[in-house]
Amino acid sequence: MNAITATRRTIRREWTAFGVLLIISVGLMGISGTKTAQDMQSSVNWAVSPVETVINNIDDTVGSYWSALTQLDHLRTDNERLSQENLTLQEELDRMGAISKLNDDWSQVTSAAQGVPYLTTPVQVIVRSITDVTERTIVINKGSNDGLAVGEVVVDAGYALVGRLTEVDDTVSTVLLITDPSAVVIGKEVKTGATGTVTGSVGGGLQMEYVDSSATLTVGDPIVTAGESLPNTNDTSPYPPGLLIGTISQVSSARNEVVQSATVQPMAHLDDATFLLVILSYSGGFGPPIVTCGPAPSPTINPSPTARPKATPTRSGGPAFTPAPAPTCIPAVTPQPLVTPVLPPTAKPKATPKPTAAPGNGGY
């Protein structure tokens, strides 16, 4: 009962308030067109306008600051994006130089392969060790699976000598550079034809030694591989003739010396070459040793009434065994001595018999 009564009171209050507001609204509408109402409205507007102006200005200022902050955030985001794009473009631009050099090196090597009078294969350097602490070597990306073998010669795009293969695995190979102190090659000065032994030195240079002192060596003259066999041996040069080794940078000679030496600047780009050529079709290297023959022994015949020819020994279950041929034999020649004839004062000089060269163990 009390709840119903409270509800009815609330409804009456709401309707009473609604009626009062309706009467006030109608009354205001009725008097709004009068002069007094208009004067009051003008006075209120005049009094409130400064406050309204201040509020509008504050609203505009706050809106401007908010807009500026929003724009700054957008500009910061755009700046970060543009900076990242600029960094990416700069990295690509930096790589373009390396890519361009790789393309140039590859073009030079492939073009050079067509001009070399030997069968070659292009290779790429994948590891480089050019310090003086260890052997000066490089590792290339081909091996025995690609037909490479120990001892083959490596050149660059300008046919300048790089080195030789010292280790060959299935897929990679090691090249001993000519600038390593253990590398040796016979070099020839192009203008005079003077030859000498070219070896590597500390610091990556080359030394040409044992050059005849009568030969004229000039700074700037090129040195190439001689490609000549060593005297009194079965050896042939492991390097093809005519490969550029370097140019003379300094000549060292002393008075009354029979030999001279020179410092050679290598021409191959050993520090930065990316693609090289391996020469496959040149056959050179060290042959079997030559044995100097002594005097042939006189044959001794021991007749025997029951002697029979011996059968050639055979291996069990196999073909007839043939002994291995003896190594190459060069007869030794003893030089003839020079004899000065003695002339008696009262008799005609008699011809002195010329001594006969006898075979011996010495020779040229």
Q: What is the pLDDT along the chain (364 residues), one digit of tens a residue?
A: 677 777 878 888 888 888 888 888 877 777 776 777 777 778 877 877 887 788 888 878 888 888 888 888 888 888 888 888 888 888 777 766 766 666 666 666 666 666 667 888 999 999 998 887 888 999 999 999 999 999 999 998 888 999 999 999 999 999 999 999 999 899 999 999 999 999 998 888 899 999 999 999 999 999 999 887 655 555 667 888 889 999 999 999 888 889 999 999 999 988 888 889 999 988 765 544 444 444 444 444 444 444 444 443 333 333 333 343 444 444 443 434 433 334 444 444 444 444 443 333 333 2
Q: Assess whether 38 and 174 both reside in one domain.
A: no
Give residue 261's pLDDT: 94
Give residue 154's pLDDT: 94
Residue 144 phi, psi dihedral angles, 5° rounding = -65, -25
Of 260, 279, 298, which residue is a domain's last? 279
Q: Assess whether 203 and 252 both reside in one domain.
A: yes
Which residues are 206's β-sheet partners? 200, 264
In angstroms, the CA 264 to CA 103 distance is: 30
Give residue 106's pLDDT: 62
For residue 150, what is the domain's CATH number?
2.40.10.350
Of 279, 297, 328, which residue is a domain's last? 279
Of 73, 92, 111, which residue is a domain's last? 92
Q: Assess whether 84 and 140 both reside in one domain.
A: no
For strand 184-189 and strand 222-225, is the pairing parallel, antiparallel, or unpaired? antiparallel
CA-based radius of gyration for the chain: 52
Residue 11 domain flag:
yes
Q: Assess whether 48 and 129 both reside in one domain.
A: no
Residue 98 domain flag:
no
Residue 360 domain flag:
no
Are 207 and 198 contacting, i.e. CB atoms less than 8 angstroms apart?
A: yes
Q: Assess whether 187 and 266 both reside in one domain.
A: yes
Residue 168 domain flag:
yes
Range of the domain at 11: 2-92
Q: Assess whether 77 and 148 both reside in one domain.
A: no
Tell me what percent of the chain is helix, strand and coil, each rounded to the nearest 5. Answer: 30, 25, 45
Q: Assess whether 189 and 227 both reside in one domain.
A: yes
Are 245 and 206 contacting, i.e. CB atoms less than 8 angstroms apart?
A: yes
Give residue 172's pLDDT: 96
Could you give the angle at the alpha carbon of 327 between the alpha carbons of 324 and 329, nearest 5°?
140
Residue 307 domain flag:
no
In angstroms, the CA 285 to CA 329 distance is: 20
| H or E element, residue 10 | helix 2-31
Query: What is the tally of structural domains in the chain?
Result: 2
Q: Assess whether 79 and 135 both reside in one domain.
A: no
Q: Assess whether 57 and 137 both reside in one domain.
A: no
Give residue 131's pLDDT: 81
Q: Assess whether 131 and 272 both reside in one domain.
A: yes
> Collapsing DSSP states into helix, strand and coil, what is residue 248?
strand
For tokens 């897929």, what's the residue? 171
Residue 66 domain flag:
yes
Report CA torsion sign: 210, 216, 219, 221. negative
Going by C-beta distance under 8 Å and a sequence separation of 6 or more, which residues neighbour residue 9?
Answer: none
Residue 182 domain flag:
yes
Give residue 253's pLDDT: 86
Residue 49 domain flag:
yes
> Which pair of structure tokens corresponds to residue 288?
């079997």
Give residue 165's pLDDT: 95
Q: Assess whether 247 and 167 both reside in one domain.
A: yes
